[in-house]
Amino acid sequence: MRETGEPARPQFATEREVRDAYAARLSEFRPAESLWKTEHTYHPSLLRGDMRTVDELNRIRIWEFKIKAGFDGLGQVLTYIALARQELNFARPVLGVLAAFEIPDEICRTIEVLNLGIETVILPEALRLAGAAPQQHLPMPVPVIPVIADHKTDSQENN
């Protein structure tokens, strides 16, 4: 809590807020895709994928959003791909997307070496606060104005 009695806001937006901000601007970031749904639930497990999109070739993408991707996020997207393919009886192509502000090289290497077919997306820094204003005002640096050595003009030199 702050001294004012208001709860302190987190320094970064939550994954859900980031997902919603990305979904709202999907046509800007992914013009060939359309938003199908956010928070899609897979029955009977009740697991939920963060977002589903569909591209021009009718391929479904299952998105998992993280602030910083880890092996847990990789496992989640693999699980959601499997559940989506079963749900659709393998009738349509289903691809996975792991989206985060930071994705460690080990995750990318794992995806590539094991040929998992999961796309990684580095989220734009502008979404880090998901449209909210920063909670702290950073001090503005004061510009340093150089002092020019005493410089005499022609009229001063003649005196």
Residues 88, 156: Cα–Cα separation, whole Å: 88
Q: For position 102, what pLDDT does the model report?
A: 94
Q: Computed from CA positions of residues 65, 71, 76, 80, in that sequence, does the dihedral angle turn out positive or negative?
A: positive
Mean pLDDT estimate for the chain: 85
The total of other beta-carbon atoms located within 10 Å of residue 40's CB is 19
Does 81 reside within a domain? yes
pTM for the predicted model, two decimal places? 0.74
Please report which confidence band the pLDDT of residue 56 belongs to, taking 50, 70 and 90 as the band edges. very high
Does 149 reside within a domain? no
CB 50 within 8 A of CB 155: no
Question: For residue 52, what is the domain's CATH number?
Answer: 3.40.1350.10
Q: For position 139, what pLDDT does the model report?
A: 66
Domain limits at 27? 15-125
Of 51, 20, 47, 56, the C-alpha closest to 37 is 51
pLDDT above 70 for 10: no
Does 148 reside within a domain? no
CB 107 within 8 A of CB 121: no
Weakest-pLDDT range from 7-16, 21-30, 75-84, 144-153: 7-16
Domains: count for the chain: 1
CB 59 within 8 A of CB 94: yes
Does 102 reside within a domain? yes
pLDDT tens per residue, range 86-133: 999 999 999 999 999 999 999 999 999 999 999 999 999 888 877 654
Does 141 reside within a domain? no
Please report which confidence band the pLDDT of residue 45 belongs to, taking 50, 70 and 90 as the band edges. confident
